[in-house]
């Protein structure tokens, strides 16, 4: 805790406070401007109203009133009213740093830059706006909770008065009354024992709405959907061009309105979101069955592989990136490798799908694939055929498939780019490395 004040910093904090009060006063004075049509009585009434406003917004007067009204609101990170607007019970202020680290996503992931919420009397929200004022990267509320000596000096020359105000403002984050739920709040029994028939083996939980986390989700979705950068990234994807920014989609997104026509009655952050509460789709996947057919009549498996939607999109992105002639550095090599890895992932997925067919399909007379590709896609069928004919089983299938992939990729790129042996070797080695890693993972799973 800081014990001595810095005159320069005190002056800066006073300027922050004075600027806040001046803007509030100017906004209110703007509404009572004089008019030529005013009668003498009306003009006098407006003059008195302006004088009253000026008096109310004198720093000492406004701060004393704010310290009195701050008890009408509470800073929270987890609130009850979004569960039900008429519920009356406990709200919590639990900063992310005070929460246990978990492997699942939660409020603990927000870090130091989380945005706190406030509930209570909407008429007192101006006090919270005051405490959200920032100086040198820290809010006034942070300084209040740290009992900052410079803020004490900035509030008033009377140290006792300033300390009283500071104590009142610090109460913004304190719980109100005893911990309690409400009949309109949600409650659930959570098993903590091994016997579900034992009534004592449950805890009664009263879940709260994670307001700070919900607001971060809302801001992220808004940025991913409507920011200029996101729009440019979607356009680049549509045009087959490279973009540094990834495109994020939120299919089947639902929006729940909290608070109806008065979202401010729920909380400050809910008011800033105009009551919008984003609900991500929490549904089982809808499987799209693929009509799998053996690769018959094709000279190579890469013809069908190359027609897959994800392969075409990734190939366009790779081509656009290589055309930019980016500086040859670690970042460039890493991004190029990521795109090639994406193509490899699709190759492995394509392979896994064809391996679900009944073994032996590659031995049909209509199958024109070479031995390496037949063994790659139908390993059991080729193994049985080799055993029946006394032929040795191929041992270099992964190497041959990697080389075939590299030739296919070079062929897709060579019309637009000067690719040759160096690129062939790079693609081949990268894919072979991924194939071997996948095989090691499969063995470990077994």
Q: Give pLDDT, residue 328.
A: 65
Q: Give pLDDT, residue 13.
A: 93
132 with 141: CB under 8 angstroms? yes
User: The tokens 């996947």 sit on which residue?
Assistant: 285
* H or E stretch covering 356: none
C-alpha span between 169 and 127 (Å, rounded): 9
What are the tokens at 423?
Answer: 């690129």
15 and 160 inside one domain? yes
83 with 208: CB under 8 angstroms? yes
128 with 268: CB under 8 angstroms? yes
Domain boundary residue, one of 279, 311, 327:
279
Residue 293 lies inside a defined structural domain of this protein: no
Q: Is the dihedral of CA 400, 404, 409, 413 positive or negative?
A: positive
C-alpha span between 381 and 244 (Å, rounded): 44
C-alpha span between 24 and 17 (Å, rounded): 11
Tens of pLDDT, residues 153-187: 999 989 899 999 999 999 988 877 788 888 899 98
Residue 83 lies inside a defined structural domain of this protein: yes
Domain boundary residue, one of 229, 245, 279:
279
257 and 138 inside one domain? no
pLDDT at 326 over 60: no
Beta strands at 209-210 and 73-76: parallel, antiparallel or unpaired: unpaired
Q: Where are the alpha helices (DSSP H) in 74-148?
A: 125-131, 140-145
Residue 271 lies inside a defined structural domain of this protein: yes
90 and 31 inside one domain? yes
Q: Give pLDDT, residue 150.
A: 92
Residue 109 lies inside a defined structural domain of this protein: no
Share of the chain above pLDDT 70, in %: 94
C-alpha span between 93 and 123 (Å, rounded): 21
77 with 212: CB under 8 angstroms? yes
Q: Give pLDDT, residue 173.
A: 86
234 and 93 inside one domain? no
User: The tokens 């013809």 sit on which residue?
Assistant: 303
What are the tokens at 406?
Answer: 């590299």
SS3 73: strand
- Give strand pairing partners of 202: 191
C-alpha span between 149 and 5 (Å, rounded): 5
| Average pLDDT rounded to a whole number, residues 5-26 | 91
Residue 446 DSSP code: -
SS3 39: coil
Domain count, the chain: 3
Q: Give pLDDT, residue 260.
A: 86
Residue 106 lies inside a defined structural domain of this protein: no
Confidence band of 60 (pLDDT split at 50, 70, 90):
very high
371 by Cβ neighbours in 10 Å (0-12 / 13-18 / 19+) ranks as middle
Residue 385 lies inside a defined structural domain of this protein: yes
Domain boundary residue, one of 279, 311, 329:
279
What are the tokens at 139?
Answer: 């809010």
What are the tokens at 445?
Answer: 């799973």
Q: At what angle do helices 159-170 and 59-69 cross, to 10 degrees?
A: 40
pLDDT at 59 over 70: yes
Q: Which value, in Å, is the radius of gyration of the alpha carbons in the chain?
A: 33
Q: Give pLDDT, residue 288.
A: 64
pLDDT at 446 over 60: no
275 and 313 inside one domain? no
353 and 438 inside one domain? yes
pLDDT at 391 over 80: yes
Tens of pLDDT, residues 260-316: 888 988 988 999 999 999 998 888 877 666 678 899 999 999 999 999 989 999 988
Q: Give pLDDT, residue 68.
A: 93
263 and 306 inside one domain? no
Task: Name the nearest CA neighbour of 351 among 291, 399, 301, 403.
Answer: 301
158 and 257 inside one domain? no
296 with 363: CB under 8 angstroms? no
Beta strands at 117-120 and 73-76: parallel, antiparallel or unpaired: antiparallel
C-alpha span between 203 and 406 (Å, rounded): 59
Residue 108 lies inside a defined structural domain of this protein: no
137 and 228 inside one domain? no
Residue 84 lies inside a defined structural domain of this protein: yes
C-alpha span between 78 and 267 (Å, rounded): 11
155 and 24 inside one domain? yes
157 and 77 inside one domain? yes
Domain of 226 in residue numbering reads as 210-279
Q: What is the mean pLDDT of the chain?
A: 87
167 and 18 inside one domain? yes
Query: What is the CA 136 to chain-centroid distance, rounded?
Result: 26
Tens of pLDDT, residues 131-149: 989 998 888 998 998 899 9
The structure's pTM equals: 0.59
Q: Give pLDDT, residue 418.
A: 75
């Amino acid at each position: 805790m800081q014990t001595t004040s810095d005159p320069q910093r005190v002056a800066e904090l006073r300027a922050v406070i004075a600027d806040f009060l001046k803007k509030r006063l100017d906004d209110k004075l703007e509404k009572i401007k004089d008019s030529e049509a005013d009668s003498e009585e009306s003009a006098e009434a407006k003059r008195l109203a302006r004088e009253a406003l000026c008096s109310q917004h004198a720093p000492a007067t406004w701060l004393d009133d704010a310290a009195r009204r701050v008890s009408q609101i509470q800073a929270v990170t987890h609130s009850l009213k979004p569960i039900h607007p008429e519920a009356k019970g406990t709200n919590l202020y639990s900063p992310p740093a005070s929460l246990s680290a978990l492997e699942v996503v939660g409020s603990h992931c927000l870090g130091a830059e989380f945005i706190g919420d406030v509930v209570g009397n909407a008429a007192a929200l101006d006090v919270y706006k005051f405490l959200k004022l920032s100086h040198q990267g820290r809010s006034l509320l942070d300084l209040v909770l740290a009992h900052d000596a410079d803020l004490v000096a900035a509030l008033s020359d009377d140290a006792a008065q300033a300390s009283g105000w500071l104590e009142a403002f610090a109460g913004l984050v304190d719980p109100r009354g005893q911990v309690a739920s409400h009949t309109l709040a949600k409650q659930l029994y959570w098993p903590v024992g091994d016997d579900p028939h034992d009534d004592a083996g449950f805890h009664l939980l009263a879940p709260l709405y994670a307001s700070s986390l919900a607001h971060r989700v809302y801001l992220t979705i808004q940025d991913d959907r409507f920011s200029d950068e996101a729009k440019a990234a979607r356009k680049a994807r549509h045009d087959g061009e490279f973009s540094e920014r990834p495109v994020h989609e939120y299919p089947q997104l639902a929006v729940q309105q909290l608070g109806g026509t008065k979202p401010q009655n729920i909380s400050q952050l809910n008011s800033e979101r105009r009551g919008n509460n984003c609900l991500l789709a929490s549904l089982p996947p809808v499987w799209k069955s693929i009509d799998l057919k053996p690769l018959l009549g094709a000279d190579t498996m890469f013809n069908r592989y190359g027609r897959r939607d994800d392969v075409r999109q990734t190939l366009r992105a790779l081509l656009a990136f290589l055309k930019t002639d980016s500086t040859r550095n670690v970042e460039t090599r890493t991004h190029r490798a990521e795109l090639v890895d994406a193509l490899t992932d699709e190759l492995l997925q394509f392979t896994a799908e064809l391996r679900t067919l009944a073994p032996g399909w590659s031995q049909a007379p209509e199958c024109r694939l070479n031995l390496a590709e037949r063994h790659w896609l139908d390993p059991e069928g080729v193994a049985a055929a080799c055993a029946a004919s006394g032929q040795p089983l191929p041992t270099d299938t992964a190497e041959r498939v990697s080389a075939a992939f590299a030739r296919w990729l070079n062929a897709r790129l060579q019309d637009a780019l000067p690719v040759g042996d160096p690129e062939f070797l790079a693609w081949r080695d990268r894919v072979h490395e991924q194939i071997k890693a996948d095989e090691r993972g499969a063995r470990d799973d077994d």
